[in-house]
Amino acid sequence: MPLKEKLMEDLKESMKSKNKVKKDTVTMVRAAIKQKEVDERIELSDAEIIDIIAKQVKQKKDSIPDFEKGNRQDLVDLTNEEIKILLEYLPPQLSDEDLESIVKEAIEKTGAQSKKDMGKLMAFIMPQVKGKADGKHVNEIVAKYIK
Protein backbone atom coordinates (compact mmCIF):
# COMPACT_ATOMS: atom_id res chain seq x y z
CA MET A 1 0.00 0.00 0.00
CA PRO A 2 1.40 3.41 -0.94
CA LEU A 3 2.54 5.51 2.01
CA LYS A 4 -0.06 8.22 1.36
CA GLU A 5 -2.86 5.66 1.61
CA LYS A 6 -1.36 4.18 4.76
CA LEU A 7 -1.23 7.63 6.34
CA MET A 8 -4.90 8.20 5.46
CA GLU A 9 -5.91 4.81 6.91
CA ASP A 10 -3.94 5.51 10.08
CA LEU A 11 -5.54 8.94 10.37
CA LYS A 12 -9.03 7.41 10.16
CA GLU A 13 -8.07 4.70 12.64
CA SER A 14 -6.61 7.17 15.13
CA MET A 15 -9.75 9.29 14.89
CA LYS A 16 -11.95 6.27 15.58
CA SER A 17 -9.82 5.16 18.52
CA LYS A 18 -9.53 8.77 19.77
CA ASN A 19 -5.72 8.58 19.79
CA LYS A 20 -5.08 12.35 19.73
CA VAL A 21 -1.26 12.19 19.53
CA LYS A 22 -1.28 9.81 16.55
CA LYS A 23 -4.03 11.80 14.83
CA ASP A 24 -2.12 15.06 15.28
CA THR A 25 1.17 13.50 14.14
CA VAL A 26 -0.31 11.93 11.01
CA THR A 27 -2.17 15.16 10.23
CA MET A 28 1.12 17.08 10.53
CA VAL A 29 2.84 14.67 8.09
CA ARG A 30 -0.05 14.82 5.62
CA ALA A 31 0.00 18.64 5.78
CA ALA A 32 3.74 18.70 5.02
CA ILE A 33 3.21 16.34 2.07
CA LYS A 34 0.30 18.41 0.73
CA GLN A 35 2.31 21.62 1.14
CA LYS A 36 5.22 20.26 -0.90
CA GLU A 37 2.88 18.89 -3.58
CA VAL A 38 1.08 22.22 -3.91
CA ASP A 39 4.29 24.26 -3.87
CA GLU A 40 5.98 22.16 -6.54
CA ARG A 41 2.82 21.05 -8.41
CA ILE A 42 3.88 17.40 -8.31
CA GLU A 43 2.70 14.08 -6.91
CA LEU A 44 5.21 12.86 -4.32
CA SER A 45 6.60 9.33 -4.48
CA ASP A 46 6.98 7.14 -1.39
CA ALA A 47 10.73 7.93 -1.34
CA GLU A 48 10.01 11.67 -1.25
CA ILE A 49 7.42 11.16 1.50
CA ILE A 50 10.01 9.19 3.49
CA ASP A 51 12.38 12.18 3.13
CA ILE A 52 9.70 14.48 4.58
CA ILE A 53 9.06 12.12 7.50
CA ALA A 54 12.80 11.69 8.18
CA LYS A 55 13.17 15.47 8.22
CA GLN A 56 10.34 15.77 10.74
CA VAL A 57 11.92 13.10 12.96
CA LYS A 58 15.18 15.09 12.88
CA GLN A 59 13.36 18.32 13.80
CA LYS A 60 11.58 16.59 16.68
CA LYS A 61 14.84 15.10 17.99
CA ASP A 62 16.53 18.50 17.75
CA SER A 63 13.78 20.15 19.81
CA ILE A 64 14.02 17.73 22.76
CA PRO A 65 17.13 19.37 24.37
CA ASP A 66 15.34 22.75 24.33
CA PHE A 67 12.32 21.25 26.08
CA GLU A 68 14.63 19.63 28.65
CA LYS A 69 16.36 22.97 29.32
CA GLY A 70 12.95 24.54 29.92
CA ASN A 71 11.96 21.74 32.33
CA ARG A 72 9.05 20.78 30.07
CA GLN A 73 8.95 17.03 30.60
CA ASP A 74 5.40 16.99 29.17
CA LEU A 75 6.72 18.26 25.83
CA VAL A 76 9.68 15.85 25.94
CA ASP A 77 7.29 12.92 26.43
CA LEU A 78 4.93 14.15 23.71
CA THR A 79 7.81 14.66 21.25
CA ASN A 80 9.22 11.20 21.98
CA GLU A 81 5.79 9.69 21.34
CA GLU A 82 5.52 11.62 18.05
CA ILE A 83 8.98 10.38 17.02
CA LYS A 84 7.94 6.79 17.77
CA ILE A 85 4.84 7.24 15.56
CA LEU A 86 6.88 8.81 12.72
CA LEU A 87 9.45 6.00 12.84
CA GLU A 88 6.67 3.52 11.99
CA TYR A 89 6.57 5.04 8.49
CA LEU A 90 10.32 4.96 7.90
CA PRO A 91 12.31 1.93 6.78
CA PRO A 92 13.94 0.03 9.67
CA GLN A 93 16.84 2.04 11.08
CA LEU A 94 20.35 0.69 10.56
CA SER A 95 22.24 -0.63 13.57
CA ASP A 96 25.61 0.85 14.58
CA GLU A 97 27.37 -2.27 13.26
CA ASP A 98 25.70 -1.92 9.85
CA LEU A 99 26.58 1.78 9.73
CA GLU A 100 30.18 1.09 10.68
CA SER A 101 30.56 -1.47 7.90
CA ILE A 102 29.08 1.00 5.39
CA VAL A 103 31.48 3.69 6.64
CA LYS A 104 34.52 1.37 6.42
CA GLU A 105 33.54 0.35 2.89
CA ALA A 106 33.08 4.00 1.89
CA ILE A 107 36.51 4.91 3.30
CA GLU A 108 38.09 2.14 1.23
CA LYS A 109 36.28 3.16 -1.97
CA THR A 110 36.86 6.90 -1.63
CA GLY A 111 40.34 6.71 -0.13
CA ALA A 112 39.34 9.23 2.55
CA GLN A 113 42.00 9.69 5.23
CA SER A 114 41.51 13.04 6.94
CA LYS A 115 38.74 15.38 8.09
CA LYS A 116 39.22 17.24 4.79
CA ASP A 117 37.67 14.24 3.04
CA MET A 118 34.59 14.28 5.31
CA GLY A 119 32.33 15.96 2.72
CA LYS A 120 33.29 13.53 -0.02
CA LEU A 121 32.77 10.60 2.36
CA MET A 122 29.38 11.82 3.61
CA ALA A 123 28.25 12.44 0.01
CA PHE A 124 29.13 8.81 -0.74
CA ILE A 125 27.44 7.36 2.37
CA MET A 126 24.22 9.37 2.74
CA PRO A 127 22.44 8.12 -0.41
CA GLN A 128 22.98 4.54 0.85
CA VAL A 129 21.48 5.20 4.28
CA LYS A 130 18.77 7.69 3.29
CA GLY A 131 15.81 7.34 5.67
CA LYS A 132 17.55 4.50 7.51
CA ALA A 133 19.96 6.55 9.63
CA ASP A 134 20.25 10.06 11.00
CA GLY A 135 22.95 12.13 9.27
CA LYS A 136 24.25 13.37 12.62
CA HIS A 137 24.72 9.79 13.82
CA VAL A 138 26.47 8.83 10.56
CA ASN A 139 28.74 11.85 10.98
CA GLU A 140 29.71 10.71 14.50
CA ILE A 141 30.63 7.24 13.22
CA VAL A 142 32.62 8.67 10.30
CA ALA A 143 34.50 10.92 12.75
CA LYS A 144 35.63 7.84 14.69
CA TYR A 145 37.33 6.40 11.60
CA ILE A 146 39.03 9.43 10.06
CA LYS A 147 41.33 11.80 11.90
pLDDT digits (tens, 9 = 90+) for 23-79: 999 999 999 999 999 999 999 888 889 889 989 998 999 999 999 999 999 999 999
The span from the CA of 112 to the CA of 146, in Å, is 8
Res. 110: pLDDT tops 80: yes
The structure's pTM equals 0.77
Q: What is the pLDDT of residue 64?
A: 93
Output Rg (C-alpha) for the chain, integer angstroms.
18
pLDDT digits (tens, 9 = 90+) for 5-28: 999 999 999 999 999 999 999 999
The span from the CA of 110 to the CA of 112, in Å, is 5
Q: What is the pLDDT of residue 2?
A: 86
